[in-house]
Amino acid sequence: MFCMLSTLLFACLAIFALAVPPSQERLSASVVRDPTRLSQSGTVSSVEVQYSTDWAGAILHSQTDTIREITGRLVIPTPRIPIRNDGKDAHYARIWVGVDGDVCESASIRVGCDLVVDSAGNITVNAFYHAFPGPIQHLNSSLSAPGASMTFAIALTSNTTGTVYVTEHTLDETVAQPFKTGAPLCQQDAEWVVENIVIDDKLLAMADFGTVTFTNASAVVEEKQVASRVGTDGARVINIWQDRLLTDVALGASSVAITYLS
Predicted confidence (pLDDT) per residue in 38-52, tens digit = 333 433 345 778 999
Please give the pLDDT value at position 48: 79
Q: Is the separation of the CB atoms in 234 and 48 below 8 Å?
A: no
d(CA 148, CA 105): 33
In a domain, residue 214? The reply is yes
Q: Between 230 and 40, where is the model more confident?
A: 230
pLDDT per residue over 133-162, tens digit each?
A: 999 999 976 777 899 999 999 999 999 999
Residue 2 lies in a domain: no
First-to-last C-alpha distance (Å) of the chain? 25
- pTM of the complete model: 0.84
The residue range of the domain holding 186 is 9-260
Query: Which run of H or E residues covers position 177?
Result: strand 173-180
Residues serving a catalytic function are 195
Do the beta carbons of residue 187 and residue 70 sit within 8 Å?
no
What number of CA atoms fall less than 13 Å from residue 50's CA on the CB side?
Answer: 20
Domain count, the chain: 1
Q: What is the CATH number of the domain that holds 240?
A: 2.60.120.700
Q: Is residue 94 part of a domain?
A: yes
Residue at 192 is within a domain: yes
> Which of 67, 122, 128, 73 has its CA nearest to residue 99?
67
pLDDT value of position 215: 98
Question: Does residue 1 form part of some domain?
Answer: no
Q: Residue 63: is its pLDDT beyond 70?
A: yes
Backbone angles phi, psi at 72, to 5 degrees: -160, 135
